[in-house]
Structure 1
């Protein structure tokens, strides 16, 4: 997991729920660094550097495309 790349950072876990579903459906290898820690101490998210989306290098381009498609203002599914 040391080769995984940080693609995005979130403050709280509810911000990326739809993204997890999309990644699981697409078979993208990923994990969220600091997810458990921030869920235990939610007011300390900024102190921990937030929750980092770490993506396998082979899936990085596909994952980035999914994030960009969710950021489209015409889409009904968006990342908060």
Structure 2
């Protein structure tokens, strides 16, 4: 069984890497990009029967800094 965890900075948290990407896109001639939020995707290979609660505990313990980041679990 696989799960994909999407981790993003929460709204209101400064995203300097996203801002650098937005600036670089503008410098490369891509207009109309008003904002960029950068995040990470973590793909997990899990034993069958791993519960959503167990995956959430993984996220809250290690995979996401829940003070400044939110996460979303996607089962594949």
Q: TM-score, normalised by structure 1?
A: 0.29
Q: TM-score, normalised by structure 2?
A: 0.30
The structure carrying a bigger strand percent of its residues is 2
- Greater RCO (CA < 8 Å, at least 6 residues apart): 2
The structure carrying a bigger helix percent of its residues is 1
